[in-house]
């Protein structure tokens, strides 16, 4: 009897959207070239960069991991650019992994993610811990477990008993067909998290507890320039709760979680308005909530005020999760 040859390693596309990335791009690309995994392609979309980005990309031509490069004729916003980069993923790729141009991955990152992803056909996504500014992130998932069913994973995410570092994920490529665009355009800064939760909802989550990526938070990062000043992650979280909370909790648990967060958000709105006199932030939040058809009603404002009194009296527990 003739033995069948072993199955070849599935093709993985590492996808890097980049705009003016000369400060860190070479380091990110070098980490891809250093991968031990044998079947990779590095997909790079240059978002109309005006610095040395194109030159750096070309310097990696002919290396071990082949490049598949595109360039936008004009500058795109972040989410449209990320979605455009995913359009370049080869159809034969079984998995893809998004690597930001200012991050790096360990040499065994893809190999370890693929080992876990292929251990169970229902796994749609694998996440791993990361080192951020020199400190390893505790993902909080139970250490003795690496595979979580959809409902368990989603509920642990919302209660902060399991963290997901997006976009540093390995995703099954057939998930690209579930939603187009893959990164939604109506979710603010949480588009990558929304895409991750949608992917988890379709199968199982694989978790690698050890750090496989290195993230940077720097002055030019989206977190520093966009999210921190506007606090728009508060509205983003509301969107995620409404979309995926019903898949994570039963009806009673969901209502309780939703109301608790809603009260907390409204209390923060009132504090920004009246305590800190930050009208710019307050107006930005109210405009976003109005666009979401979620502007606080008078009854909710009164309820949030009562909630604050009950918190002072230590009769009701405070909000415990993200965002803080």
Same domain, 145 and 247: no
Reported residue count of the chain is: 324
pLDDT, tens digit (0-9, with 9 covering 90-100), for 90-110: 999 999 999 999 999 999 999
pLDDT value at position 200?
Answer: 97
Peptide bond into 181 cis (omega under 30): yes
Which secondary structure element, helix H or strand E, spans residue 29, and what is its range? helix 25-33
Same domain, 202 and 256: no
pLDDT at 8 over 60: yes
What does each C-alpha distance from 216 to 67, 131, 135, 164 come to in angstroms? 24, 9, 11, 16
Q: How many domains does the chain have?
A: 2
Domain boundary among 216, 237, 264: 216
Domain boundary among 194, 216, 238: 216
CB atoms within 10 A of CB 21: 26
Which secondary structure element, helix H or strand E, spans residue 303, and what is its range? helix 298-312
- The rounded Cα 247 to chain-centroid distance in angstroms is 18
Same domain, 196 and 256: no
pLDDT value at position 227?
Answer: 57
Same domain, 87 and 235: no
pLDDT value at position 226?
Answer: 57
Can you tell me the distance from the alpha carbon of 220 to that of 217, in angstroms, rounded to the nearest whole number? 8
Peptide bond into 70 cis (omega under 30): no
Same domain, 282 and 188: no
What does each C-alpha distance from 5 to 1, 2, 8, 92, 117 come to in angstroms? 12, 9, 9, 20, 21
pTM of the predicted protein model: 0.92
pLDDT at 174 over 70: yes
Model confidence band, residue 1 (pLDDT cutoffs 50, 70, 90)? very low
Residues contacting residue 241 through CB under 8 Å, at least 6 positions apart:
158, 257, 258, 261
Backbone φ, ψ for residue 68 (5° rounding): -125, 105
Domain boundary among 216, 238, 269: 216
> For 268-288, b where at least 16 C-beta lie within 10 A, e where not — what string?
bbbebbeeeeeeebbebbbeb
Same domain, 172 and 258: no
pLDDT value at position 223?
Answer: 54
Judge contact between 317 and 308, C-beta under 8 A: no
Q: Is residue 172 part of a domain?
A: yes
Backbone φ, ψ for residue 213 (5° rounding): -130, 160
Q: Residue 71: which domain range?
A: 12-216
Same domain, 263 and 211: no
Mean pLDDT, to the nearest integer, of 287-300? Answer: 95
Mean pLDDT, to the nearest integer, of 13-30? Answer: 98
From its phi and psi, is residue 179 left (phi > 0), alpha (psi between -120 and 50) or beta?
A: beta
Same domain, 122 and 186: yes
Q: Give the domain CATH number at 198.
A: 3.90.550.10
């Amino acid at each position: 009897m003739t033995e069948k040859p072993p199955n070849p390693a599935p093709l993985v596309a590492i996808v890097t959207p980049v705009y003016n990335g000369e400060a860190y791009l070479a380091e990110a690309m070098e980490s891809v070239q250093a991968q031990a995994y044998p079947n990779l392609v590095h997909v790079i979309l240059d978002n109309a960069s005006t610095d040395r980005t194109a030159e750096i990309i070309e310097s990696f031509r002919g290396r071990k991991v082949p490049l598949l490069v595109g360039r936008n004729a004009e500058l795109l916003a972040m989410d449209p650019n990320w979605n455009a980069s995913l359009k370049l993923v080869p159809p034969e790729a079984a998995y893809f992994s998004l690597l930001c141009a200012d991050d790096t991955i360990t040499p065994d990152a893809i190999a370890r993610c693929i080992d876990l992803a292929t251990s169970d056909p229902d796994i749609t996504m694998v996440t791993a811990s990361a080192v951020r500014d020199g400190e390893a992130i505790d993902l909080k998932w139970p250490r003795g477990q690496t595979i979580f069913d959809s409902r368990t994973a989603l509920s642990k995410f919302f209660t902060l008993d399991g963290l997901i570092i997006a976009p540093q994920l390995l995703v099954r490529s057939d998930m690209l067909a579930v939603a187009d665009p893959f990164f939604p355009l109506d979710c603010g800064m949480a588009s990558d998290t929304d895409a991750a939760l949608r992917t988890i909802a379709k199968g199982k989550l694989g978790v690698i507890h050890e750090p496989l990526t290195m993230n940077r938070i720097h002055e030019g990062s989206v977190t520093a320039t966009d999210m921190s000043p506007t606090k728009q992650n508060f509205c983003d979280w509301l969107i995620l709760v409404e979309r995926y909370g019903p898949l994570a909790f039963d009806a009673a648990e969901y209502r309780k979680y939703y109301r608790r967060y809603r009260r907390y958000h409204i209390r923060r709105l009132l504090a920004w308005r009246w305590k800190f006199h930050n009208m710019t932030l307050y107006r930005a939040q109210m405009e976003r909530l109005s666009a979401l058809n979620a502007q606080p009603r008078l009854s909710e404002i009164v309820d949030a005020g009562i909630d604050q009194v009950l918190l002072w009296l230590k009769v009701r527990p405070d909000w415990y999760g993200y965002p803080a």
